[in-house]
Structures are given as C-alpha cells and as structure tokens.
Amino acid sequence: MNDLVIETTGLHKEFRSRRGGLRVAVQGLDLAVPRGGVHGFLGPNGSGKTTTIRMLLGLARASKGSMELFGHPVPQSLPAVIDRVGAVVESPKFSPNFSGRQNLVLLARTIGAPTGRVDAAIETVGLTGRDRDRFKSYSLGMKQRLAIAATLLKDPELLILDEPTNGLDPAGIREIRDTIRDLGERGVTVLLSSHILAEVQQVCTSATIIGNGRLLASGRVDELLQGGPAVVRVEAPDPAAARSVLEGAGFAVSPAASDEPDLLVEADSPAEVTRVLGEAGIWLTALTPVRRDLESVFLELTEADTLGHEHVAHPTSGGAA
Amino acid sequence: MRRLLHVELTRLRWRRAVLLLLLAVVALPVVFGVARAWSTTPPSAEDLARVDQQVAEETARPYVQKQLERCLAKPQRFGLAADDPDLQAQCESFVLPQREWFLYYETLDLVQERDETGLAVVALVSVLLLLAGTTLVGHDWNSGSMSNQLLFETRRTRVWTAKALVVFAVSLVLSLVVFSSYWLALWAAARSRDLPSSTGILVDCLQDGLRGALVAAGAALGGYALTMLFRSTVATLGVLFAVAVAGGALIAVLGIDAQFQPQTNIAAVVLDGADYYVQVPDECFTDRPPPGIACDEEKVLPAANGSIYVGSFLLLAGAASVLSFRRRDVP
C-alpha cells in the first residue's frame, strides 16, 4: 500500500504574463510526503512552494504532471479527500466584517461539521473571548490562529501550513510551533512550508527543499544534516599561524566569524587536525565538532542551484539526500 | 447542495451591505407608492369649499360678468355658434372661472401607472438587486475568502450554482412581494376613491409585477455572474456602466433599430410588449405614399422578443462566468 499522503510526479506550472511571456513557477517537481510527522517544505521566495500547495488543493491548475493525495489523483478526486485535509495558504483569508466565529460557522456548515467543533477549534487556538469580534479587528497572530482553527474543523489527517508564523511575535511563533508539534504527535501529517529554518529544524521530522520550482533534496532532517563535509571549530593561541599550517596541509579553512579568532576547518578526522598542528608546535586550546544546521544545508543547496550547479536529489519517503 | 444553499443564505443574511440594499429594495417602492397615493389624493371637502368660494368671488367680478355678456352677445368671437340652444351654459363654461382652474390634482389611474411609475419601480429595484448580487460575491473575491471556501467545497460548479440560486431566489421572492404589495396598495387606494379599479386591471398590474420580479431577479443574477467573471465589484459596475452608456450610444449612432435598445426590451418584458419607433422612408411623408411601403413609425416589440434578448445576455454572462470560475486559478 502506498503510504505517502502527498505525491507529485513531474509537476509543472507555467504562468502566462500579461505581455504574453511564460513564467515557469514549478518544473517537474517530484514531491513525496510520508504519512505521519511534520514534513518541512523549504525553498527561497518564488521557488514554487505556495504554487505547489495551491495546485495540490485545487486552487491552481497544473500545466503538466500528476498529483495524489492519500493515493487519490487530484484535482479529479479532490472532493473525496478534501475533508481529510486542512490548509492555510499564504495569509489567512476570511470575511473581514464577520466575526471569527461567524467565519468558522460558515466553513463548518459547508462540511456539515457540528457547531461543537467550532467551539473546540476556537478553544484549541486560544481565541475564546475574542471569537465574537470582527475578523478585521484581529491582530496578525489572531488571524493566523483563526486560520489554524479553520483547519481543525475538519479533524484533518493532513495539515498543509504555508508560512503559518508569518508576522507573529516570538510568543506567537512558539504557540504555533507547539500546536504543530502537538498535531504531529497526535498522528496528523503536517506539511509545513516556512522560511524560518530553525523552526523547521525544531519541529520537522523530514523535509523537502526546492529551488526554482525543482526538487533539490528530500529526506529525514537528521539525514539531510549528515550530508556534506564534517567541520570542526579550532581555537589556537595563534590563529594566523594555525591557519597557515592547516592550509599548508591541504585543509579548507575559514574564519568562524569576522570578529572571532576561531577557525572552521573541514576535516573528516579531527585527530588529523590535532596531529598536523601538534607537529608544527601549535597546541590547541579547543577543538569542537560543528554540527550542520538546516540553514547551512538550505543555503548550500539553494545557492548552488542559483549558480546552476547540478544536484543529486533523492525524493524518497525516508532516505537522505 | 442543500447544505451549501443554507451556507450561502446565511452568508447573505450576515452581509450588512447586502441587507441594506435589500432594505432599500423594500423601502424605496414604499416611498414611491406612498408619494403616488399622496399626490393623487382627491381634494377634501374643505378644499372644495375654499375653491368654490374663490370661484364665486372671481365670478362676481365685473370684468368677468362683462366677458359673459360679450360672449352671449357675440358668441362667434368666442368660437361658439349664435344659434346654439345651450349658449348660456356654453358661455358660462367658457368664460366663468371653473373649479379646475384653482384646484389641479392628478387622478390615480392604474393603467397609466403601469406604463410610468410601475416601470420606474421595476428599474429601481432591478438596479438595487444587481448591486446586491455583485456586492455579495464581490466581497468574497475582495477579501480572498473565496479560496478559503474552496478549501472546504472544491466542486466549483456547485459553489457557483449555490450562490447563484440564493441570489436569484432571494431577489425573485423579495421583488415579487414588493411589486405585488405595490400594486395591491395602489389598487386599494384607487378602489377607496371610487376610481376605475376592476379586477382585470389588478390582474394586469400583478402580471406586470411578476414579469418585473423576473427581470429584477435576472438583474441580480447577471450582476452576480459578471462579478464571478471579473472577480471585482468595481470592474463589474464599470463594465455595466460602459455598456449602458457606450452601448446605447453605439446603437443610436449606427442607426440600429430601437428594438435592440436594452431598455426597450426590458420594457417589453415587464409590460408584455412595448412600443418603439422606426424611421420610415421619406416617401411616407408625401401626399400619396407609394403602395407597398411600410409607413407606420410605431411598432410593438412583443414580450417574447424582449425575453429572448434579455435571456440571451443573461445566458452568455452565466456561461462565461461558470467556465471562467471552473478553469481559472483562484488567488
């Protein structure tokens, strides 16, 4: 049985500009999101994340390629699966003159959900007490929370969140992050599109990185982080001398920061760094392995993609890139 | 579908701007009807007594009596025959002040009302309902909530149809109630004044109301369909304004028959046929027009023709709107 909740194959989207030209937003994207957990969907601005999400939800038509949700082809079978999918696409979009509750009631009635579910959703996102105020009087954080409440009306198996923390203050970001993590732990599959990579790294179990509408990498977050050369931070009494010796021995060396004397050295074996410096009479003050974060992986991939480099992508449900 | 209809009806009920427009649909014809009934109120006994006194005073004036004597003496100067056996009465009615000279009032004539205020009320209600239709859905596009709605019901044709049905049904029922009340009130007023108010006239008026309600509901549906097509209330109103102004002018400039003017066709639907005028050849104005040339300037446009004309535009707008909504990406 196919255990992917989202699968796209060769997905392609072109927009025709008013001047008659074509703009390619998504080109041949193969996306695979496994069931369960929180899956990050990353890419620079304009890389095609929102367009992909909008195509999956039937808001935009794909130019080419195929898409499946829960193994059903979409958009053809969207009516059969949409009740299992909650989504917030870009900014929250509700009628500004209706109260938050009125907006939710209309959506709940559309799917035949009981009114009790509206109360529960409002309570879950912490809007109790403000739910009867007009939507236009809400802060951005409240609007985002209302949008998440709307997704909960369906009791979804799949939650698609497109930049859900945009414009939120740190407390709001934390609340949303906790909600997402909680949903993921409850068995809801979450596709989280975000620019905030630290946030993605904290809550996501797997991730897909795209650039210029193409897949750059996909896999479990810990496996994505394992890729690339190992780096160690070197602290030495004379950093300039240490750098010279290491570079002389063929290591790639860079300063840790412009205002820091520490060095970052690409080395598969930290012991080799110690040996080379020791033989030169330079005794280390500290040697720390540097753990790669998602931001560095993301920047490596997207910057290289911008320069036109080729990448080997592994769009799997569990493998590393 | 029933669920969606319920949702759209609730949405309409909660939209304050739409409710205000619907309130105007009720209130303005009431104002119109009251104004007509008021302006055609027969004079009171006090008014008549005051006028009679005025007539008596004027009649007693010497120059008036002198005029009467002149009329009796030389009736031919007043266009009357000298041998008229009823000369005294003729001259009195001709020369002496009459009640009507001092007391002008309109009579409530339902036949005349059908052609004049009846048509105006239909036009007014139609414009208001068109605005209501366009406002209801324009707000969905403007706020972006349309995309949110489509995340809960992805079958776009269903969404379009549910909204259209609610707009059409609410407009039809409301305008039917308004027009029927309007005509029943005027008929009751005429009846209470002992003016011609047969059941036949009432039936004609109510039939006008029914056809008018269909036109008004069609206007609301047209406004809705165009807004779903253009995705903006402002764009819809702009296009309608341009078509109303430029379209009419174009038809006139190109010398196209008045039977193709929108207002002629709408009047034909509401009034079960409408008169329009055509240009006839110059030969028609000679003493003896050549045989075989149609010289009748006045023509009648049947209601069926008007219905086909109006219905075609509505169908065209509806089809374009559905197709566009089904195919285009939703922002």
The average pLDDT across B63-79 equals 86
Q: Are residues A145 and A187 in the same domain?
A: yes
Query: CATH number for the domain including A277?
Result: 3.30.70.100
Which of chain A's residues have a Cβ under 8 Å away from the Cβ of B10? 105-106, 109
Q: Are residues A142 and A265 in the same domain?
A: no
| B288 in A contact zone (CB under 8 Å) | no
Q: Are residues B172 and B131 in the same domain?
A: yes
- Please report the number of interchain residue pairs, chain A to chain B, with beta-carbon separation below 8 angstroms: 70
By C-alpha distance, the chain B residue nearest A63 is: B329
Q: Are residues A94 and A235 in the same domain?
A: no
B121, B179 contact by CB (below 8 A): yes
What domain range is B66 assigned to?
Answer: 45-102
Which of chain B's residues have a Cβ under 8 Å away from the Cβ of A110? 3-4, 7, 149, 152-153
B162, B75 contact by CB (below 8 A): no
Give the residue, A243 or B129, on which the prediction is more confident: B129
Tally the domains of chain A.
Answer: 2
Question: Which stretch of DSSP H or E encloses residue A162?
Answer: strand A158-162
By C-alpha distance, the chain B residue nearest A88 is: B148
Q: Which residues contact B233 (CB under 8 A, 6 or more apart)?
A: B134, B135, B138, B139, B142, B227
- Please enumerate residues of A whose Cβ is less than 8 A from a Cβ of B: 54, 57-61, 75, 78-79, 82, 85, 87, 89, 91, 93-98, 102-103, 105-107, 109-112, 150, 154
Q: Are residues B98 and B225 in the same domain?
A: no
Q: Are residues A206 and A273 in the same domain?
A: no
Distance between CA atoms of residues B287 and A58, nearest Å? 73
Question: What is the reported pLDDT for B170?
Answer: 96
Token readout for A208 is 């897909």
Distance between CA atoms of residues B140 and B130, nearest Å? 16
Residue A73 lies in a domain: yes
Q: Are residues B173 and B292 in the same domain?
A: yes
Do A57 and B151 make contact, defined as CB atoms within 8 angstroms? yes
Confidence of residue A313 (pLDDT cuts 50, 70, 90): very low
Q: Are residues B60 and B197 in the same domain?
A: no
Which of chain B's residues have a Cβ under 8 Å away from the Cβ of A109? 3, 6-7, 10
What domain range is A132 assigned to?
Answer: 4-226+296-306
Do B7 and A110 make contact, defined as CB atoms within 8 angstroms? yes
The pair phi, psi for residue B40, each rounded to 5°, is -110, 15
For residue A308, pLDDT over 60 is answered with no
Question: What is the reported pLDDT for A126?
Answer: 81
Q: Are residues A199 and A237 in the same domain?
A: no
Residue A48 lies in a domain: yes
What DSSP character marks residue B121? H
Q: Are residues A124 and A190 in the same domain?
A: yes
Question: What is the reported pLDDT for A2?
Answer: 57
β-pair type (A206-211, A38-42): parallel
Q: Are residues A205 and A241 in the same domain?
A: no
- Out of A59, A75, A111, closest to residue B152 by CB: A111
Q: Are residues B76 and B225 in the same domain?
A: no
Tally the domains of chain B.
Answer: 2
Q: How many residues does chain A have?
A: 321
Query: CATH number for the domain including A182?
Result: 3.40.50.300
Q: Please, where are the H alpha helices in chain A?
A: 49-56, 78-81, 100-111, 115-124, 140-152, 170-185, 197-203, 221-226, 239-248, 270-279, 294-306
By C-alpha distance, the chain B residue nearest A102 is: B14
Residue A320 lies in a domain: no
Q: Are residues B253 and B284 in the same domain?
A: yes
What DSSP character marks residue A261? -
Token readout for A22 is 């074509």
| B1 in A contact zone (CB under 8 Å) | no
Q: Are residues A215 and A286 in the same domain?
A: no
Question: What is the reported pLDDT for A118?
Answer: 92
Q: Are residues A63 and A173 in the same domain?
A: yes
Q: Are residues A138 and A194 in the same domain?
A: yes
Q: Are residues A180 and A261 in the same domain?
A: no
ipTM over 0.90: no
